[in-house]
Amino acid sequence: MPDSRVPRRRRYLVCEPRHFAVQYAINPWMHPDEPVDVIRALDQWQALVDTYRAHGHTVDSVKPVPGLPDMVFAANAAVVVDGRVFGSLFHAPERRPESVPYEAWFKTEGYEVYHPESVCEGEGDFVPAGRWILAGTGFRTTREAHAEAQEYFGVPVIGLTLVDPYFYHLDTALFVLDDELDGNIAYYPEAFSPGSREVLARLYPDAVLATREDAMAFGLNSVSDGRHVFVSPGATGLAGQLADRGYVPVPVDLSEFHKAGGGIKCCTQEIREIRS
């Protein structure tokens, strides 16, 4: 395939995992009795930040807060479309305080933040995809939040039902390869209900379909700039498929964060401004 994929510079928001730990269990990956290596987590996170910058992307950071061990998962704090910020109302009480420092950061940067009335978890379940926003439900974000987001952004929101607790957020089962109007995605079909699989097949007949092995390796918790795909090194089959389609897989090891059910995308909030 010709080398025709063109990257677009992105602006990412992250949070240093200074206080990262697994102190409670709110998904099947989390086991509080298994220790977390914070030094290793810090090294892996810094490698991700350095990799983004080496590929020309801007990276901003929110200061971590003691007592909020999952604050490193910046994607869950909000979803930003055309410079408009739709905040989060976390399902788990343990995570709800995370919204406060993220909102403060956005306000300091000059953004207004919409406060949702329904449970929603930012880019964990809202995936902007060109013409529309793909939105997950089933474990965290509610369908009522889908309606709120559509009303706020004025963008069609397409609801997708997740059925496997290991893929409790949409961003663990699907990611956007190209966010142009006619862009494409990669996803793991069995993470979705039968009806949602049909919807995805209609919308994306040429999608990259991942195996369960690659999905369980957090291969779909990836970030793409349109050419480079920052992906878990364990998702070898998926990386091969991406390369065959003309993308450039960039392996980044965030395995320490898998202990909390997170990976590359979970640690990365994209700030989407109005595109000229």
206: Cβ contacts below 8 Å, ≥ 6 apart: 184
In single-letter form, the type of residue at position 11 comes to: R
Active site residue 15: no
Please identify which residue in the block is written with the tokens 């999608």: 207
In single-letter form, the type of residue at position 192 comes to: F
211: Cβ contacts below 8 Å, ≥ 6 apart: 188, 237, 238
Single out the catalytic residue among 15, 120, 266, 267.
266
Q: Report the distance separating Cα 99 and Cα 111, nearest Å.
A: 14
Single out the catalytic residue among 91, 146, 169, 228.
169
Task: Give the phi and the psi of residue 147 in degrees, each rounded to 5.
Answer: -65, -40
Active site residue 169: yes
Please identify which residue in the block is written with the tokens 């206080």: 19
For 239, the enclosing helix (H) or strand (E) is helix 236-244
Please identify which residue in the block is written with the tokens 């690659």: 214
Q: Catalytic residues, which ones?
A: 169, 266
